Amino acid sequence: MRITGAQAIIESLKKEGVDIVFGYPGGAVLTLYDALYQAGFPHVLTRHEQGAVHAADGYARATGKVGVCFATSGPGATNLVTGIATAYMDSIPLVAITGQVAVSLIGRDSFQEADISGITTPVTKHNYLVKHAGDLPKVLKEAFFIARTGRPGPVVIDVAKDVFATVLEYQYPENVQLRGYQPLFAGDQTAIDLVVEEMKQAKRPLIFAGGGVNLSETVTVLRDIVDLTGFPVISSLMGLGVVPSDSPYQLGMVGMHGTYAANMATTECDLLLGVGVRFDDRVTGLIDHFAPKAKVIHFDIDPAEINKNVRADIRVVGDLKWSLPALYGQAQGRKAEAWKAQTEDWLDQVQAWNRENPLSYEKSTEVVMPQAVVERVSELTQGNAVIVTDVGQHQMWVAQFYGFKHGRSLLTSGGLGTMGYGLPAGIGAKIGLPDKPVFVFAGDGGIMMNCQELATAANFGLPIKVLVMNNQVLGMVSQWQRLFYGERYSHTSLKGHTDFVKLAEAMGVTGLRVTIPEELDRVLAQALEIEGPVLIDIRVPDTEDVLPMVPAGARLDQMIMGGK
C-alpha cells in the first residue's frame, strides 16, 4: 500500500506490538504527530522529553516490552540523551524516534538541527539517520530486532522532516538479515559440564544474581537451581527480587551498601557463579581483593563483559534462556539431598553472619526514620507492588529494607545513577501494568529534576504514590561530605521554601505530609484510599547515613557498620 513515511512508522509500531508511545511534539515531527492523531494511536504527552524517555524506560522494565518515545529535532532530541544513556547502562530495550531537519538542510546548522546520531553513538546499541522514506520499514524492523535481542539496549531512529511526508510503497519485512549481528543464544555445552563439576567440588559456593536474570525472564529457573542446590545467593541492585528476600538462601544486596552477610560471603566463598552481572565497581569494592578465595564463573550473553572487570575462571557465553535451563538439567542428575549436605556448614555460616549483623537502624519515636518508611510500605504491599526509585540515599534504603519477592519489581537507574528518573519511570510502569500498585521513592533533590511530570500523572489519573524523603539536603553527597570531607557541606543544603504539598496540588496531585512517626500509618492509609496520584512529603533527619558502607577503594570486608 502507498502511505506516507509518518504513516509507515505508525503501521510498523503496530506490527511490532507497540501499544503506547511517550513523547513531546515539535516542528520537525508535526507530520508524524498528525499521522498519530489520524490513526488514533495511544500516546502519552509528558511535560519534558526527558520525562518521555524515562517513562518509556520504566514501561520497558516493568513489562519486558520495548519502550518507545518520540521527540522533535534539536533540543527535543538532545533532551532524550540522559534517558537513552540510562537505558544503555542498564540494558533496557528502547526505540527513540526523533525528528531531524529536512534532508536539504542537514549539515548547515539549520534551525533546531542537532546531530543526534553522532551525539548518541556512545550510548546506543545502534542508531539510524533516515533520509529516504523507502528505508523506513526495514529500519523500523531492524531497530526493534536490535533493541530486544541479545543484550537489550536503546536504538535511535532519526528521521528527516521531509521523509515523514514522502509517499512510499509500504511493505513490512518478515525477517531481519544483519551482517555482523547474530545475537548469540546457545553457547558451549561443555562449559555447562565444567560448571557442574566445579559446583560439586565447592564447599562454599555462592550465586551472584544480576539484572540479566530479569531481562532474560529466567527468574523461575534460577530459583529452581537455588532450591535444588541450596546455594546461598547475593544480588546486585538490579537483581533484587530475583530470589525472594524472605528465602533462607537470600543474603541480600552485595557491594558498597550491601549487607554484612553478602559482603562476607563474597569474601569467603570458594566458588562464585555470576549470573547476568557486570561486576560493577559499586559491587566489587577494591577489585584486586574481590572474591579472593573463589573460582569465578561468569554467565553472560555479552562476551565483552567477560573478564572486563573480574577475571573469570570459566566463561559461559550465551543467553541465560539457554544456559540456566541447561545448568539446571545437568544439576538435576544429583539429588537435592546430596547438594544440600555438601553446603550445610556453609549455609549455617552465612546465616550466622546475617544474625550477627543484620541490617538495622536506630529506631525513634520523635523523628520519622527513612528506613521505617520503607519497611512500612513493604509490610503494606507484601512485596506485591512495583517499586520505583530515584537515585540517592532513599534508593539504597529501599534496596536494603524493602522485601522484594518478584522479578521486575524494582525499577531504578543502576548503572548511570540518574536523578530525576523515578517519577517518570513510575508513570511508565503504571501505564504498562495498570493493575499493579506503583510506589515511587524519591529524595527532595531528585524529585525536583522532573517534578513537572506530576502534571502528567494528574492528567492521566494515574494512581501512583510518590514518597519524597525530605531531609532538606542532597543526602548521599552530604553523607560523603560528612564521612570523608571533614563535614564541609559544600552546596548540598536544600533548606528553603519548597513546599512539596503545594507543588503537588498546583499540578493536580493530592499532597500530604508526614512530620512525626505517629502520622505515618494514617497518611499512608489515606494515600492508598485516594484513587489518583498522591505525593507524600515525609520529613526525615538530615544526618541519617546509609550503612553499612564500603568506602571507595576498600575491600568488601572493610565495611563501616551502623544501626542499633
Residues with a catalytic annotation lie at 49, 111-112, 161, 476
Note whether 278 and 249 are within 8 A (CB). Answer: no
AA letter at 359:
L
Residues 6+ apart with CB under 8 A from 89: 123, 413, 414, 415, 416
Backbone angles phi, psi at 413, to 5 degrees: -80, 100
Q: Which amino acid is at 193?
A: D
Q: What is the DSSP string of 169-236?
A: E----S----TT--------HHHHHHHHHHHHH-SSEEEEE-HHHHHTT-HHHHHHHHHHH---EEE-
In 3D, which of 260, 379, 275, 382 has the Cα closest to residue 321?
Answer: 275
Determine the Cα–Cα distance for residues 447 and 390; give it in Å rounded to an integer: 8
How far, in Å, CA of 526 to CA of 530, rounded?
A: 7
Which of the 8 DSSP states describes residue 81?
A: H
- Residue 157 and residue 141: Cα distance in Å, rounded? 11
Find the radius of gyration of the CA atoms of the chain: 24
Q: Which residue has the cell 494515600?
A: 527
Confirm if 54 and 430 have CB atoms less than 8 A apart.
no
Residues sharing a CB contact under 8 Å with residue 263, sequence separation 6 or more, in sequence order? 254, 255, 285, 548, 550, 556, 557, 559
Reported in sequence order, the residue ranges of 210-358 that DSSP labels E, i.e. its strands, are: 233-235, 250-253, 271-275, 295-300, 314-317
Angle CA 458–460–463, to nearest 5: 70
b vs e for 37-53, b when ≥16 Cβ sit within 10 Å of the residue's Cβ?
Answer: eeeebebbebbbbbbbb
**Cβ-based neighbours of 379, under 8 Å, separated by 6 or more:** none
Neighbouring C-beta atoms of residue 511, cutoff 10 Å: 20
